[in-house]
């Protein structure tokens, strides 16, 4: 059956990098290994320009009837003075909440060819492949009550960090399902020595683990997890954690690789429908110059095939093609190093398509 992909290029370099990912999809369609229908719609600043809203109703409707969504990036200086509810980021937040995308997958992968890009020693990070699964729609970012008020004659502010058992269970299941497609190890990160919410988190993770006897579950306090990520990151396979801890740890893990132009991400609902996007933003400083790295977006397609469209073989083919292109020494300026050949956005996309043919 034909699967539907919504294509949302967004703003800035979003349009340039998504065009390269579409090239890859069109090649795989022509090659007969993908049966997908692509439908493009505006979001973010582009949504505001087209329809006065960062998430136009037609874009949301298209996403709701699609099996997966590919997003470029949103935002730009020209939109920063808009009222908050009209700003591009609202388009992203709207999609996450409307589609109930509660499971945020943030891989930190370092191709051995790019080990020099990391600020850590090559032997610590070369070949790194971690998947951080962050709960995205609950926890302290959304907990009520929250306010800045007064107490004992001075200003006082507080937030509420809470998780329902069902919320912990569904992110736990998401992490274990992903581990089943990888090295079958889950490390659950919490602060159970101090927080009640973490105590429940740990208990529910233990219960979920009973349904996945092949997967090894371990627990780690978040302070230790931060240290271990920098000390010996290759010890981790899948890491599952709450919204707040995941926010911090996933950025830390991303930076282990030293190249944000290489990292894809996914946000999934409980049925495996997902939105796939590079972790970087719209990079207004290089937009329109044809030099943005499209590989994070191309790798978002391979994540989409793996986690929403159930096509591991083609996902692996894309990953291998990206590896081949790096082996050939082709680099966009952000990952350029001595002895390599500098190429622009379109040439990099073309090279991946050529590598897919081989």
Task: Please report whether residue 344 would count as binding ligand NAD according to CB under 6 A.
Answer: no
The structure tokens listed for 103 are 């499971």
Toward ligand NAD, which CB reaches closer, 9 or 233?
9
Residue 121 annotated among the catalytic residues of the structure = no
- Residues 246-265 within binding reach of ligand NAD (CB under 6 A): 260-261
- Rounded CA gap, 186 and 33, in Å? 32
Query: Would residue 191 show up in a list of annotated catalytic residues for this protein?
Result: yes
Enumerate residues 2-41 that contact ligand NAD by CB under 6 A: 13, 17
Cα angle 115-119-121, degrees, rounded to a multiple of 5? 60
Residues 87 to 106 in contact with ligand NAD, rule: CB under 6 A: 89, 92
CB nearer ligand NAD, residue 53 or residue 277: 277
The answer to whether 74 contacts ligand NAD (rule: CB under 6 A) is yes
By CB under 6 A, the count of residues binding ligand NAD is 22
Kindly state the smallest distance separating residue 130's Cβ from ligand NAD, in Å: 20
> Three-class SS of residue 179?
helix
Strands 3-10 and 68-73: parallel
Which residues does the annotation place in the binding site for substrate?
96, 106, 134, 223
272 DSSP 8-state letter = S
Interacting stretch for ligand NAD, rule CB under 6 A, among 130-138, 206-214, 276-284, 307-315?
276-284
Pairing status of strand 68-73 against strand 238-241? unpaired
CA distance 14 to 62: 19
CA distance 231 to 124: 8
User: Which entry of 15, 141, 184, 221 is annotated as an active-site residue?
Assistant: 141
**Angle between the N-to-C axes of helices 345-357 and 312-327, in degrees from 0 to 180, rounded to the nearest 10:** 120
Footprint of ligand NAD (CB under 6 A): 13, 17, 73-76, 89, 92, 260-261, 277, 280-286, 292-293, 296, 334
Residues forming the active site: 141, 191, 223, 247, 251
């Amino acid at each position: 059956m034909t699967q539907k992909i919504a294509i949302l290029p967004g703003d800035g370099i979003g349009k340039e990098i998504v065009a390269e990912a579409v090239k890859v999809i069109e090649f795989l369609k022509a090659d007969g290994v993908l049966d997908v229908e692509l439908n493009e719609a505006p979001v973010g600043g582009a949504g505001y320009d087209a329809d006065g809203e960062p998430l136009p109703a037609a874009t949301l409707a298209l996403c709701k009837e699609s099996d997966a969504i590919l997003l470029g990036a949103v935002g730009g200086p020209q939109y920063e003075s808009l009222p908050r509810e009209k700003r591009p980021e609202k388009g992203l937040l709207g999609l996450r909440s409307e589609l109930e995308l509660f499971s945020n997958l943030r891989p930190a992968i370092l191709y051995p060819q790019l080990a020099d890009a990391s600020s850590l020693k090559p032997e610590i990070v070369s070949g790194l492949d971690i998947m951080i699964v962050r709960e995205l729609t609950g926890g302290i970012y959304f907990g009520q009550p929250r306010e800045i008020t007064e107490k004992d004659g001075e200003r006082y502010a507080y937030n509420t960090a809470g998780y329902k058992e069902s919320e912990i269970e569904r992110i736990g299941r998401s992490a274990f399902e992903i581990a089943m497609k990888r090295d079958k190890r889950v490390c659950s990160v919490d602060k159970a020595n101090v927080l009640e919410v973490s105590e429940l988190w740990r208990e529910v993770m233990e219960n979920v683990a009973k349904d996945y006897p092949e997967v090894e579950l371990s627990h780690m306090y978040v302070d230790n997890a931060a240290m271990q990520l920098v000390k010996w990151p290759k010890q981790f396979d899948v890491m599952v954690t709450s919204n707040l801890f995941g926010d911090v740890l996933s950025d830390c893990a991303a930076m282990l690789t030293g190249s944000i132009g290489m990292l894809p991400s996914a946000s999934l609902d409980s049925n495996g429908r997902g939105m796939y996007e590079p972790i970087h933003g719209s990079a207004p400083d290089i937009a329109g110059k044809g030099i943005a790295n499209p590989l994070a977006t191309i790798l978002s397609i391979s994540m989409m095939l793996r986690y929403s469209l159930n096509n591991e073989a083609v996902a692996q083919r894309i990953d291998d093609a990206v590896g081949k292109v790096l082996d050939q020494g082709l680099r966009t300026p952000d990952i350029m190093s001595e002895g390599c050949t500098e190429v622009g956005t379109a040439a990099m996309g073309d090279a991946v398509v050529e590598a897919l043919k081989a």
